Amino acid sequence: MTAEKTATLEELKAALLESYREEFPNDEPTICAFAPGRVNLIGEHVDYNDGFVFPMAIPVGTMIVGKALNEPTTTKCYVRTLSKDVGEQKSIEIDLANELAPIKSPKWANYVLGVLAHFLERVKPSKKQPFRILIATSVPIGGGLSSSASVEVAMCTFLELLYGNSLSSNQQLSKVDKALLCCKAEQTYANVPCGIMDQYTSCLAKADHALLIDCRDNTSQYIPMINKNVCVLVTNSNVKHELGAGTYAERVHNCQVAANLLGHKKLREVTSLKELENARDKMSPTTYKRARHAITEIQRTEIAAEALSKNDYAEFGRLMYESHQSLRDDFEVSCEELDQLVELARSVDGVYGSRMTGGGFGGCTVTLVAKSSVGKCIETMKNGYKEKCQQFHPRNDSDDDDTQIQICFSYLSSSKFPLQI
Ligand code: GAF
């Protein structure tokens, strides 16, 4: 199996510029916006329960280049994606004179439309500015690394730069406002009732730090990630997930039902498992299990962030395994391939912990591993995955086993990457 090469930010930019110049000879883009993807270290499916999450940005993301169109009569914008994985239609036209409603197809365009619509509604510029943009991403689509949020946040950054000085101070967005706006775009245009984690991380993350986010009041704390002897390894099962497919919404609903039955606004307010136990006969076994995951995961995340800030990797790792088990058995959002990857990582000396990351139903695992064991861990996961996952239904279009797994990793002290360029 080969580790597929992920485009660097320079490569993304070069590809965008080349495409732009090819399509619009004698013209140059004037704006470049970037937003990173994220990996969630722990705290899964709890952002919409007002819980704690603990993600960090990763050096892959979405970049947009473009410019304002100033022909006096035009109200039209042009948007094209360079992404190969989004179906046939790669470009759309948006007429700012019309209502910016979500569209059936192409689906990717809704991330752009959603942000644009919410931005215009929030900022209310005196004149709507037409533009043209090209979009490219290095975040694997459907990999649980926040591909959609990175498009939304890059789009919002592009718009902020496009309107620039024409915005007064009360039209400008704080980073949290921006995250909320992008999150609303995802909920209303992509129809995913997501929490704030992905957009928040894309807006507020900084290099060499993880972010402990309290999703009840949208505040956060940076936890330094500077130990060069420890790595975060992100491994893609290449089983594609689609959160819009309904299973995500079902989990959100289950949790809300449990919170209502317990007399709370959100499951974050449940202070102990005992409270849930006492109400067990009021709810279905499924609702009970979903709530048990959310309540224990919120507790785990707080303890885990504390452990990491004290460099207690053994404790952090133990909580990662517990988190995975809870997501697998109680929340039922894992899949055989992710379970195998976690077990393979666990068999390697020097691995502290491993778990699925993101929405689930496919996508990636995240592993905390001593730097000296990274090579061994990658090898074990590659070889074992090939051997063990052949027994599962082939879920990818490709017949080539070599593409079943893609591995990228960043050291805790990841190299600096720009959040906006
Ligand atoms: C997806 C959602 F977009 C997030 O809000 C979060 O709920 C995550 O799944 C699960 O932790 O990425």
Q: Which ipTM value was assigned to this complex?
A: 0.99
Which runs of consecutive H residues, i.e. helices, occur in 262-402? 273-278, 285-309, 313-329, 336-346, 374-389
CA of 42 from ligand 1 middle (Å) equals 12
Residue 143: what pLDDT? Answer: 85
- Report the catalytic residues: 198
Residue 137: what pLDDT? Answer: 94
Residue 64: what pLDDT? Answer: 96
44 Cβ below 6 A of ligand 1: yes
Q: Going by CA atoms, what residue is nearest to atom 7 of ligand 1?
A: 45
297 Cβ below 6 A of ligand 1: no
182 Cβ below 6 A of ligand 1: no
CA of 360 from ligand 1 middle (Å) equals 9
Residue 91: what pLDDT? Answer: 96
Q: Going by CA atoms, what residue is nearest to atom 2 of ligand 1?
A: 194
293 Cβ below 6 A of ligand 1: no
pTM of this structure:
0.93
List, in order of start, the domains of the chain with CATH numbers.
9-410 (3.30.70.890)
Reference 409, options 363, 360, 375; nearest CA is: 375
Do residues 338 and 356 make contact, with C-beta atoms less than 8 angstroms apart?
A: yes
DSSP states of 225-281 as a string? Answer: ---TTEEEEEEE------GGGTHHHHHHHHHHHHHHHTT-SSGGG---HHHHHHTGG
47 Cβ below 6 A of ligand 1: yes
Which neighbouring-strand residues pair with 33?
A: 64
CA of 197 from ligand 1 middle (Å) equals 6
Per residue of the chain (421 residues), give pLDDT as tens.
233 467 888 899 999 999 999 999 999 999 999 999 999 999 999 999 999 999 999 888 999 999 999 988 899 999 999 998 888 899 999 999 999 999 999 999 999 999 999 999 999 999 999 999 999 999 988 889 999 999 999 999 999 999 998 999 999 999 999 999 999 999 999 999 999 999 999 999 988 899 999 999 999 999 988 888 898 999 988 887 776 668 999 999 999 999 999 999 999 999 899 999 999 999 999 999 999 999 999 999 999 999 999 999 999 999 999 999 999 999 999 999 999 999 999 999 999 999 999 999 999 999 999 989 999 999 999 889 888 776 664 444 444 433 344 455 443 333 333 333 3
DSSP states of 169-235 as a string? Answer: TTTSPPHHHHHHHHHHHHHHHS-----SHHHHHHHH--TTEEEEEETTTTEEEEEE---TTEEEEEE
CA distances from 332 to 45, 171, 328 (A): 11, 42, 5
Which runs of consecutive H residues, i.e. helices, occur in 349-418? 374-389
